[in-house]
Amino acid sequence: MFTVVIVGRPNVGKSTLFNRLIKGNEKLKAITDMLPGITRDINYGTAQWDKKEFTVVDTGGFFSKEKTENIIQKQMLEQIAVAITEADLIIHLLDGKDGLLPDDIETARKLRETGKDILWVINKIDNPSKLNRIYDFYRIGTDELIPVSAITGYGMEELIDKIIDKIPEKMSERIEKEQIPKIAIVGRPNVGKSTIVNSLVGKKRMIVSPIPGTTRDAIDTVCKYYGKKYLLIDTAGIKRLSYYKKEISQGEYVDKLSYFKALRSIERADIVMLVIDANEGIVNQDQKIAGIIAEQKKGLIILINKWDIIRPEERDKRAKYLSDEIKKKLWFVDYAPYLTVSALDKTRLTKIFPIIEEILEEYQKRISTSELNKLFSLKLKDIVLSHSGKELKFYYITQVSISPPTFVLFVNDESAIKQHHIKFIEKLIRETFNFKFTPIGIKIKQRK
């Protein structure tokens, strides 16, 4: 798909423009704020205008060489270099309020060296009376400037027309989105989520730093394994839930937005990979995150990361300990497979994909009503014997949906069904129809 990359100094409005361009896709919106440097990672989204589609890439801000001592800022420059190599069109976004600065001229020079098509767009021009602000920007060396206001939408129609004109005719027809599996990577801060994504993708799309909370946005990246595509969604680390309920400062406001974006990423996903620190083991926060995933009825893989820091002679003992911990503390997601991995040396990372495929197959499996009722007619006695009191009648059971597989059981008295009945029914379905790794939904309905 035709790819448009937005670059520019920090706080010129790149994320606001990104959100304006992908206006129809709320779940992909980038976090925006008046704090410079909010967008640290590359954010991908799809814009749809007049039945035409193109990919939009939001990047972190450019910094001059004198300002790249910080490791995160250096990695941002590496990310932008990756994004630019993938771009069909670059939007150099400039700040109409600040005027033309030396960094802008240097950035323009770097962008010209790429040989890519470039649109010079002047942001924060929210009405015609402010058009006089743009004249100084002609010093950047272009004959065409596009004034816009990403916040109000002023000038966006002209910008969209310019983008559409750049799309080759063979790419102009709308392409149906590929139904590729969506895999969200979640966990506490600094457990190695972004490193796992970078290792799987093979490109530095995510900033990796020992500083907790480096990833603030939920970032989409397409990964290929033996020709099959997967959409990996890296998320901000989820802190203790009490952290998000307190009175928050301006900086913590960004954390709270990141938390809600992480929750939306779980909603979007088909499968969620919960990353746990092998050295720290399963802590209370890991249990709470697993609980969120279980409530959403998503496929789940537990990745015990940083296996490389466990000494070889201690690994068998540690593996046994973590296995017991999972059974004890994550009993409510006992269907979830787990894997010890190392994102740094890529130990067992490729084993993730066969597990994903197995979960997806189960997640989308459908069992006929006749097969289900044949099973229940044979096992009905066992269920009835487990109930005491009023006579409990089971009429029939049917599967009503997939992703996850969801079953409805019709009975004469809904209130008589207890949790142990539901667990028995779930176990019966799992064992008979080989639902090993997927969550299952059981609903009870009363019928006269």
Average pLDDT of span 198-204: 76
- What pLDDT is stored for residue 69 in this prediction? 53
Which of 199-213, 258-272, 331-345 holds the top average pLDDT?
A: 331-345
Of how many residues is the chain composed? Answer: 448
Q: Which of 55-59, 95-99, 334-338 has the lowest mean pLDDT?
A: 55-59
- Single-letter amino acid code for the residue at 54: F
Q: Which domains does the chain possess? A: 3-172 (3.40.50.300), 182-362 (3.40.50.300), 369-446 (3.30.300.20)
With 70 as the cut, is the pLDDT of residue 351 above it? Answer: yes
With 80 as the cut, is the pLDDT of residue 25 above it? Answer: no
- What pLDDT is stored for residue 37 in this prediction? 47
Overall pTM > 0.75: no
At 383, list the tokens.
Answer: 């269920």
- What pLDDT is stored for residue 292 in this prediction? 85
CB of 186 within 8 A of CB of 289?
yes
Helix (H, G, I), strand (E, B) or coil at 225: strand
With 60 as the cut, is the pLDDT of residue 137 above it? Answer: yes
Distances (CA, A) of 147 to 78, 111, 162, 358: 29, 19, 12, 51
Which residues make Cβ contacts (< 8 Å) with residue 47, sequence separation at least 6?
A: 4, 21, 22, 53, 54, 55, 56
Residue 97 DSSP code = T
pLDDT tens profile 372-418: 988 887 766 555 544 445 567 778 899 999 989 999 998 888 887 88
pLDDT band of 67, cuts 50, 70, 90: low
With 60 as the cut, is the pLDDT of residue 296 above it? Answer: yes
CA distance 42 to 341: 25
With 60 as the cut, is the pLDDT of residue 172 above it? Answer: no
Q: Which residue is listed with tokens 């989820």?
A: 238
- What pLDDT is stored for residue 381 in this prediction? 52
With 60 as the cut, is the pLDDT of residue 28 above it? Answer: no
Question: Percent of the chain beyond pLDDT 90?
Answer: 37
Q: Which of 83-92, 168-177, 241-250 has the lowest mean pLDDT?
A: 241-250
- What pLDDT is stored for residue 141 in this prediction? 86
pLDDT band of 439, cuts 50, 70, 90: very high
Rounded (5°) CA angle 214-333-393: 145
pLDDT band of 207, cuts 50, 70, 90: very low
- What pLDDT is stored for residue 390 in this prediction? 59
- What pLDDT is stored for residue 168 in this prediction? 85
Nearest to 342 by CA among 400, 278, 399: 278
Average pLDDT of span 226-241: 75
CB of 188 within 8 A of CB of 237?
yes
Which residues make Cβ contacts (< 8 Å) with residue 32, sequence separation at least 6?
A: 15, 16, 19, 38
